[in-house]
Amino acid sequence: MIKVDQLCRKFGELYAVQDLSFHVRKGEVMGLLGPNGAGKSTTMKMLTCFLPPSSGEASVGDVSLHDSIEVRRKVGYLPENAPSYTDLDVRSHLKFIGRMYGLPNATITDRITEMTGVCGLEHVLHRRIDELSKGFRQRVGLAASMLHDPACLIFDEPTTGLDPNQIIEIRHLIRRLGEKKTVLLSSHVLSEVEAVCDRMMIIDQGKLQVIGTSEELAHHTQGHSVFYVRFKESGEQVLDLLTQSFPDIQIKPQDDQSNAYMLYHSEPDVPLAEKLFHTSVASGAIILEMQSKKKTLEDVFRELTGEGQ
Amino acid sequence: MNTTEDMGMNSERVGRANLNSRGLDRGGLNRALAICWKEWRVALDTPLGYVVAIAFLLATGFFFANHLFLVGQADMRGYFGVMPLLLMFFIPAMTMRMLSDEQRSGTFELLATMPIRTCDIVAGKFLAVMLQVLVLIALTLFYPATLALMGDLDAGQVAAAYLALSLLTACYVAVSLYASAITSHAVVAYVIGFGILFGLFMMMQAMPTFSPDVQNFFAAFMPLAHYHFMLRGVIGLDDMGVLLLVTALFLVLTWFQLERRRWR
């Protein structure tokens, strides 16, 4: 549905997005992750034909970005901070959006009824937008982006400013939308992306670092699972034992504990716990604590974006 | 929820239903009218619109009555003479938020990612302010109607003067719209718009100090000069042409300014 090939965007001499390539399938929710200034919003602005790319190609629903008017018809876009015409009431704002997409009046009325129901705006339909809370304004933005029933939705930080209940509601809504529509969303909240998205990608300094499901993302970094082990003994002796016994596994001593180590292993079928047990028994070392830790998306994010180094 | 049931159907319909029997796209006009409608809603819903309208009517009423009772002349010359000066203050005020606010509040991104051409945005905004000012000017038809009841009124001359005023209004709106397009601050837009109009006004005032050749050269391009020619009751195509040309020039500049900020 969305195909991006070697997309670049320069501001002066600086690359905001560089050689970005990915695709989002129809009926898939894709999360776009990255630290501030990574190029998430710039990518979205290019895919919604607000900013022209410096080079590269992209298409939405088989329509090239060069046919920008046609792409805009296919895309529903919620920009960051959900801008809206605050001097208007919610109904007038949505009616205006519908007219701008060329919808017939009868369709606009039906869609406003439907979208206000979906986004929980029924009770504020006749209130001016500047009188609404941030959460309601966000919902107005969501309703506006879906009003013309686009096949593809692009949301830039859709849950910013919402309270926990609203966040859960919007997550459910995005999940429901993602059953049939293509959704690309960016977020700073890693747990949100993990909960809502089928796949996700992490970009940093304009470049794609990794793309896949949360499990696949873990594979791309230092091993897909982490093992924590603490010995009674400390010092070089234990480290040498581990290094010799597990040459293919990355071992990191823990800074805060001289006798504890993290073992990163990439082969899921290796019975590491058993091997560790037998090795320690054979060498006479005593294991005090042993724990399998699953790598979180946060670990992956920090590793790939340099935050954890 | 049934939002996804006819997924993409509306997006397929969008833009296709707007072709008339000759295959021409009417969507652009409809969207320009939608922008115009939105601006009217905003103007009617906010106190600023009413304040400007009342101030305009009070000011024009003052100058009309002043000329009628103090100078003692039952004609509209004084009124039409002072109108360029009044419009110079009012039109930038009515136009300053049109595009600057869109940029400041981020709604320009919303507008620019909808299936609409930049020229339709400019047309919609221009039409909105133009109609608002024309409605205010139409309310002043009360003054010539009063004069007509009191004595003889040269209806042809007044009609030509109102046409000239409408064309000058178009010029001023285009200039102010351009000022609104080059900044995201409404007050700055007002200052720029007023500054350009004031500059043109001052050039007009300084004309007698120039040599006849220079005067003729500048008079050919000065909207105010052609406005004053039309006030004499003669509708010259060249006068109308210059006023329309200056309007078109600033609309194109506005279009160019917005085009720089969005994808074609």
Residues A10-23: pLDDT tens digits?
Answer: 988 889 999 999 99
pTM above 0.90, yes or no: no
| pLDDT of A284 over the 50 cut | yes
Please give the C-alpha separations between residue A67 and each of A49, A71, A79, A150, in angstroms, as whole numbers: 9, 6, 21, 16
As a whole number, mean pLDDT of residues A109-122 equals 91
For an interface test with B, which of A45, A62, A71, A101 has the most B Cβ atoms less than 10 Å from its Cβ? A101
With a cut of 60, say whether residue A37 has pLDDT above it. yes
Q: How many CB atoms lie within 10 A of CB B72?
A: 7
Q: What is the mean pLDDT of residues B214-229?
A: 84
pLDDT in tens, B10-65: 444 444 434 344 434 467 788 999 999 999 988 888 888 888 889 999 999 888 88
| pLDDT score for B15 | 40
Nearest-CA residue of chain A relative to B8? A151
Distance CA B261, CA B103 (A): 10
Cβ separation of A102 and B1 shorter than 8 Å?
Answer: no
Q: Which residues of A touch B109 (CB under 8 A)?
A: 45, 50, 79, 83
pLDDT of residue A223: 56
Closest CA to B109 of A41, A243, A118: A41
Per-residue pLDDT at B203 exceeds 90: no
Residue, of B21 and A206, whose pLDDT is higher: A206
Contacts of B14 in chain A (CB under 8 A): 73, 101-103, 148
Determine whether the interchain pair A100/B1 forms a contact, defined as Cβ–Cβ distance below 8 Å.
no
**A184 has a pLDDT exceeding 60:** yes
Instruction: Answer whether B190's CB lies under 8 Å from B196's CB.
Output: no
Q: Percent of chain A scored above 90 by pLDDT?
A: 38
Both tokens of residue A158?
Answer: 């859709």
Per-residue pLDDT tens over the stretch B124-178: 999 999 999 999 999 999 888 888 887 777 888 888 899 999 999 999 999 999 9
Local confidence band at A270 (pLDDT 50, 70, 90 cut-offs): low
Percent of chain A surpassing pLDDT 70? 94
Q: Which amino acid is at A182?
A: T
What is the rounded average pLDDT of the residues B202-214?
Answer: 83
Q: CA distances (Å), A79 to each of A104, A209, A226, B19, B218, in order?
A: 25, 24, 38, 30, 47
The residue with greater pLDDT, B15 or A235, is A235
Q: What does the DSSP assignment read for B114-161? A: SS--HHHHHHHHHHHHHHHHHHHHHHTTHHHHHHHHHS---HHHHHHH
Residue A58 in contact with residue A50, Cβ under 8 Å? no
Instruction: State how far the Cα of B11 lies from the Cα of B65, in Å rounded to an integer.
Output: 57
Residue A180: which pLDDT band, with cuts at 50, 70 and 90? confident
pLDDT, tens digit (0-9, with 9 covering 90-100), for B54-93: 999 999 988 888 877 776 666 787 888 889 999 999 999 9
CA distances A305 to A40, A187, A302, B18, Å, are 13, 15, 5, 48
Grouping H, G, I as helix, E, B as strand and the rest as coil, residue A179 is: coil
Both tokens assigned to A150: 């686009």
Is A215 buried (19+), middle (13-18) or exposed (0-12) by CB count in 10 A?
A: exposed
Q: Is B9's pLDDT higher than 70?
A: no
Q: pLDDT at position B205, please?
A: 83
Mean pLDDT on A24-47: 91
Mean pLDDT of B249-256: 96
Q: Which residue, among A2, A42, A73, A110, would best test binding to B if mutated, counting the most B CBs under 10 Å from its CB?
A: A73
N-term to C-term CA, chain B? 36
How far apart are the CA of B50 and the nearest CA of chain A, in angstroms? 15
Bridge partners, A11 (sequence order) = A14
Q: What is the mean pLDDT of residues A252-264?
A: 79
Q: Which residue in chain A has the smallest CA separation from B121?
A: A100
